[in-house]
Amino acid sequence: MPTTQQTSLRGHSIIAGRETPGTGKTVHGSNPATNDVLDPAYSLLDADQLTAATSAAEEAFESFRALDPETHASFLERIADNIEAIAPELTERAMAETGLPEARLNGERGRTTGQLRLFAAVVRQGDFRGVRIDPARPDRTPMPRADIRQRKVPLGPVAVFGASNFPLAFSTAGGDTASALAAGCPVVFKAHNAHPGTSELVGRAITDAVREAGLHPGVFSLVYGPGASIGQALVSHPVIQAVGFTGSRSGGTALMATAAARPVPIPVYAEMSSINPVFIFAGALENDAAALARAYVASVTGSSGQLCTAPGLVFVPAGEAGDEFAAAVNGTLSGAAGQTMLTKNMADSWTRGAEELAAQDGVDLVARGQDGPTENAPAPVVFGTDVPTFLGNEVLHEEIFGAASLMIRYSSAEDLVAAARRLEGQLTATLHLTAEDRATVAPLLPVLEGKAGRILANGWPTGVEVGHAMVHGGPFPATSDSRTTSVGTLAIERFLRPVAYQDIPDALLPQPLRDANPWNLNRRIDGELTPAGAAAADRA
């Protein structure tokens, strides 16, 4: 029988500010620690009902894209404030739906509100508008130059899909939604069916912020529906101009195919599959192999390994120092208990992946932990192999989403370069080294540049800073577009495109391009950066 949770939940989509019961089937959230079903039932939309959300987004676009910076930024801050106002209820429901601990979810909530406020600052500052001005030069010879001004404009309504492993920071008000709204794009958000109540609570917070800011209600809609039908219908709808997705490779590539097959194709920014190799060098092992092993195990097992940057591969030198590291991993992991995974299906998929990896020739067990105290909490595991085996077996390159990793023993720098060249695209690549290792590392770095979006030294890939310089992306299959990031302020660029205005009268130009610079933006004039407040551009 369902277990009642948060009676304020209604179990319906929210389309342009209106609660909308679906006409399709219903789904429930469930507690992965117990497999208990949670109330309420969530009614799923059909494709015809989805059109109301996309139509509202289309209607909202013109007014939303034209917001002045202060109104726009304040709206994003309202969302953050509203999420914080429901913190106790939100954490309770998210714990019930995901099995994640309170501290992790409180931290994730802070990350969610923090990135909303960060994008509010980006909107106020305005550099994302990319203003460039080449003033007219009527006396230039041999040909005069026209007045040409450029800015970046929002693409239009964006479809965003909630992630399973981050019910807050990569979901309803997460990075994709925050960056799309910051760009001036209305969002139609497809909730993940694994945490529907969490999505509803945050969806209401956004909807309230839309109303409080006096915006068109179509700026945001929250929809529930089957991914195979509603998700595909959303991506194929002609109103939608871009897609943000975090999930499996199969799910991401299915959306990519749908978007590419449209009469007018659109970009899909999908974060999908990564095994995040870690390369440990001899000098690092000499410092403290046991401490390094403990840190590695913590990175593999944190959040039950359900992080997109979890280290699925670790390259360790052959020989005595590597043996010491492996023994320390065994000693640390053997006392570690499995943590509850997000859903029963994910736990089952992890078990199948671990069993397949264990069955491969040349793969041995290095260390295994203990089963956790709840349902769907399998024991974490580390397997071992060597470079030749890794190079010759595709199965060893596949992601196992959960607390599992493969330790690969290498004999030379050439081994590492060969293995790195064989890797698919990754979100991260990590180096553990000392000054004595730099000559060995040097030939590896250019290879890793072509394979990963973030390269880090003497740290662990789990834990992604939300800031201006972060890249959370990488070559396929880590993402569908290696030129972008889904974390950090650069994420806004995904939902913008440049437009040039030639000899347009000043009174008709958009505010960022006018001579008086009414929004007080930094602008690049004749190629030179002109800070906000500097003299207006010359105009013929």
Query: Catalytic residue numbers?
Result: 271, 308
The Cα 38–Cα 27 span in angstroms is 10
Two structure tokens written together for 404: 């599992």
What's 230's DSSP letter? I
How many C-beta neighbours within 10 Å does residue 414 have?
11
Burial class for 446, CB neighbours closer than 10 Å (0-12, 13-18, 19+):
exposed
How many C-beta neighbours within 10 Å does residue 445 have?
13
Question: Residue 224 to residues 2, 173, 193: CA-CA distances in angstroms?
Answer: 19, 15, 7
Q: Which helix (H) or strand (E) holds 363?
A: none
Two structure tokens written together for 397: 């390159």
* CA dihedral over 212, 215, 218, 220, signed as positive or negative: negative
- 413-418's contacts with Cβ under 8 Å and 24+ in sequence apart are 413/440, 413/443, 413/444, 415/387, 416/279, 416/315, 416/387, 416/440, 416/444, 417/443, 417/444, 417/447, 418/387, 418/391
- The dihedral region occupied by 527, where left means phi > 0, alpha psi between -120 and 50, and beta the remainder, is left
C-beta of residue 203 within 8 angstroms of C-beta of residue 191: yes
The Cα 311–Cα 299 span in angstroms is 7
What's the N-to-C CA distance of the chain in angstroms?
75
Instruction: Name the phi and psi angles at 428, rounded to 5.
Output: -140, 160
Two structure tokens written together for 126: 């305005």
Which of 209, 157, 161 minimizes the C-alpha distance to 186? 157
Cite the beta strand spans of 411-520 per DSSP E: 426-432, 452-457, 496-502
- For 459, the 3-state DSSP assignment is coil
Question: Residue 115 to residues 7, 112, 119, 303: CA-CA distances in angstroms?
Answer: 29, 5, 6, 21
Residue with tokens 């030198």: 317
Which of 154, 147, 151, 155 minimizes the C-alpha distance to 127? 151
Cite the beta strand spans of 352-492 per DSSP E: 364-368, 381-386, 404-410, 426-432, 452-457
